[in-house]
Amino acid sequence: MPHHPPVSEPRHPLATRASVLLSSVFGPYSQDDQYGSRKANPMELYQNQVTRLQGAFSLRMFHRSFGLMMIKENLDAPCTLLDFPTLPSFTEQIRQQKYDVIGISGIIANVGKVKKMCELIREYQPKAVIVIGGHIANKERLDQMIDADLIVRGEGIRWFQRYLGQDDKTPIRHPAAFSGFGSKSMGLELGDGPKDTAAILIPSVGCPMGCNFCSTSALFGGKGKFINFYETGDELYDVMCGVEKKLKVRSFFVLDENFLLHRKRALRLLELMEANGKSWSLSVFSSARVLKSYSMEQLQGLGIGFVWMGLEGEESAYDKLKGVDTLHLVQHLQGNGIRVLGSTILGLENHRPAEMESIIEYAVRHDTVFHQFMLYTPIPGTPLHEEHQRDGNLLPESEFPFVDAHGQYRFNYRHPHFENGEEENYLLDAFRQDFATNGPSLMRLFRVLLNGWQKRDLHSLRVQRRLSRESAPLRSTYSGAVWAMKMYYKNDDGLWTKAEELLTDIYAEFGWRTRLVTPIIGRYILSRLKKEELRLAAGESYEPGFYFEENASAAALKKGHPVEEQPNRIPEISAFPELAC
């Protein structure tokens, strides 16, 4: 039975015959411009807020606009997607092709870009309905800042299906797509193929933990709320098998705020993986308490190789951390081969300048493979933002432009204990100290991979297959990278020793072949590393390529075929980088 929306929900008169264009905001992104791009806020997640000060060792990588991809694949109407267009390529598209509905998604810092895109649409496509979604939809008075027809908050797949008169109860079609692209580190391209990159998997959106600052939780309903695209382990397993077949991958980046929280689904997935001998690797987000509720055997069985976990700060009052010794937890996970990305917030209510040194030292002591540092920032839509708004603490736009409220620069409110922008220095100190003490994240990653490999005998053959696959590059490329790191740090006793010890352990584990090839590969990597340093010193930055994709209906329409009913299928993603803007 098709779902009949409440009368207040808008419906497009052309229903599934409407032609739809979806677009992310235009680039370039890593520059300071009049539309709100900021050099300090590039489109690369890791460079932006994780390995920010690791120079040529930083992990550079882009991620697609997965929300738009999911919407496109679940529409029966012909739908075209532009991901990371430039202003000229976006303009060209709307000049050349007529659309009935144009949807744009962005974050709050993108208001200037969305405003410009709306103006262009009004100029070239005055009849098109403009729909705005994503985090930007939570910006207060957005309707007065931009010229749009509909501003949609929350989950967009079902909204678009209802808007276009489609049944919104059919199973969600999952795109087969890689989780990242353009990956680089130490001056080397890390490859975007199935062996190098995980596929994206989106089982749910939202997180019921509802931490007061969390904008992703708030976007999908906040505390106690979440939306499952796949309710059961069986459904998820089928989706994963489809993606595995299509992309030839064996690893998945699970884009779910708190994947392991859905315990029944996760444990059923584990059963199916065991029964079918799947040695998949899963990278997940998980809160600490939830993670701790699983045994190491279960985590290894599920293929959990990477966890993004909130550490927030010592003695922070979040439920998700109650009773958890995060130092011990990280040590336990990493000692068993599970790479941890720890996330620390600076500037919590109880933080004071005098304590920042010990707060940073505590965070750095975790020695996680990756460490994200963010300023405690009220984002519109979150309970924290509501609280500051109520108390009149938020800085007006004239004092602090909201495009700079991305958590990597300054507080966008009057903090009771910090003044004059000193928080930026603490933030940079945290990144610096983590890097200076623990070394490049890649070196930490290799150590943790080795830990996992050395404990392989504790696990089933199925798990051993994964550990063997994940640690295989330690025999050559990764050991070469460690050799290059050792040379690079010849004047830094601490990090030289760290690299030397790791290399000794790798040699002991993998023998003479590794010992033989390592210096040859290492010399090459060292030369690339130095070249990359020069490139970065000259001010070079990276931008994502442009993706143009169509769903099956749009492709069929182009070929002159009638639009047909869409079976539940894994669609093909075609992409081509833009060569020139």
Q: Which residues bind ligand SF4 (CB under 6 A)?
A: 207, 209-211, 214, 216-217, 257-258, 287, 310, 320
CB 369 within 8 A of CB 331: no
In the complex, the smallest distance separating the C-beta of residue 505 from ligand SF4, rounded to whole angstroms, is: 34
In the complex, the smallest distance separating the C-beta of residue 59 from ligand SF4, rounded to whole angstroms, is: 21
| 289 vs 462, beta carbon nearer ligand SF4 | 289
| 216 vs 454, beta carbon nearer ligand SF4 | 216
Question: Beta partners for 199?
Answer: 178, 252
In the complex, the smallest distance separating the C-beta of residue 131 from ligand SF4, rounded to whole angstroms, is: 26
Q: Which of 61, 56, 55, 24 is nearest to 42 (CA)?
A: 61
In the complex, the smallest distance separating the C-beta of residue 219 from ligand SF4, rounded to whole angstroms, is: 10
Query: Hey, CA dihedral for 261, 262, 263, 265, is it positive or negative?
Result: negative
Q: Which of 318, 335, 199 is nearest to 255 (CA)?
A: 199
For residue 27, the 8-state DSSP code is B
| 172 vs 209, beta carbon nearer ligand SF4 | 209
In the complex, the smallest distance separating the C-beta of residue 183 from ligand SF4, rounded to whole angstroms, is: 24
Distance of alpha carbon 227 from its chain centroid, rounded? Answer: 18
- DSSP assignment of 451-518: HHHHTGGGS-HHHHHHHHHHHGGGGTHHHHHHHHHHHHTTT-HHHHHHHHHHHHHHHHHHHHHHHHHH
In the complex, the smallest distance separating the C-beta of residue 206 from ligand SF4, rounded to whole angstroms, is: 8
Q: In what order do the strands lie in the sheet with 339-346?
A: 199-201, 251-254, 281-285, 304-312, 339-346, 370-375
Q: Which of 295, 299, 204, 196 is nearest to 251 (CA)?
A: 196
| 308 vs 435, beta carbon nearer ligand SF4 | 308
In the complex, the smallest distance separating the C-beta of residue 216 from ligand SF4, rounded to whole angstroms, is: 6
From CA 499, how far away is CA 485, in angstroms rounded? 7
Phi, psi of 388 (to 5 degrees): -70, -35
Q: In what order do the strands lie in the sheet with 20-24?
A: 150-151, 129-133, 101-105, 20-24, 79-83, 547-550
| 153 vs 498, beta carbon nearer ligand SF4 | 153
SS3 content of the chain, % helix, strand, coil (to 5): 45, 15, 40
In the complex, the smallest distance separating the C-beta of residue 259 from ligand SF4, rounded to whole angstroms, is: 10
| 243 vs 379, beta carbon nearer ligand SF4 | 379
In the complex, the smallest distance separating the C-beta of residue 328 from ligand SF4, rounded to whole angstroms, is: 19
In the structure encoding, which two tokens stand for residue 259, read together? 């994947």
For residue 63, the 8-state DSSP code is -
| 384 vs 484, beta carbon nearer ligand SF4 | 384
| 94 vs 207, beta carbon nearer ligand SF4 | 207
In the structure encoding, which two tokens stand for residue 102, read together? 């144009």
In the complex, the smallest distance separating the C-beta of residue 405 from ligand SF4, rounded to whole angstroms, is: 18
The secondary element (H helix, E strand) that includes residue 330 is helix 326-335
- DSSP assignment of 356-414: HHHHHHHHHHT--SEEEEEE--PPTTSHHHHHHHHHT-BPPTTTS-GGG-SSSS--SB-
* Residue type present at position 97: Q
In the complex, the smallest distance separating the C-beta of residue 108 from ligand SF4, rounded to whole angstroms, is: 17
| 249 vs 291, beta carbon nearer ligand SF4 | 291
In the complex, the smallest distance separating the C-beta of residue 349 from ligand SF4, rounded to whole angstroms, is: 16
| 207 vs 525, beta carbon nearer ligand SF4 | 207
Query: Hey, CA dihedral for 179, 181, 186, 188, is it positive or negative?
Result: positive
| 246 vs 320, beta carbon nearer ligand SF4 | 320
In the structure encoding, which two tokens stand for residue 300, read together? 């290894």
| 217 vs 300, beta carbon nearer ligand SF4 | 217
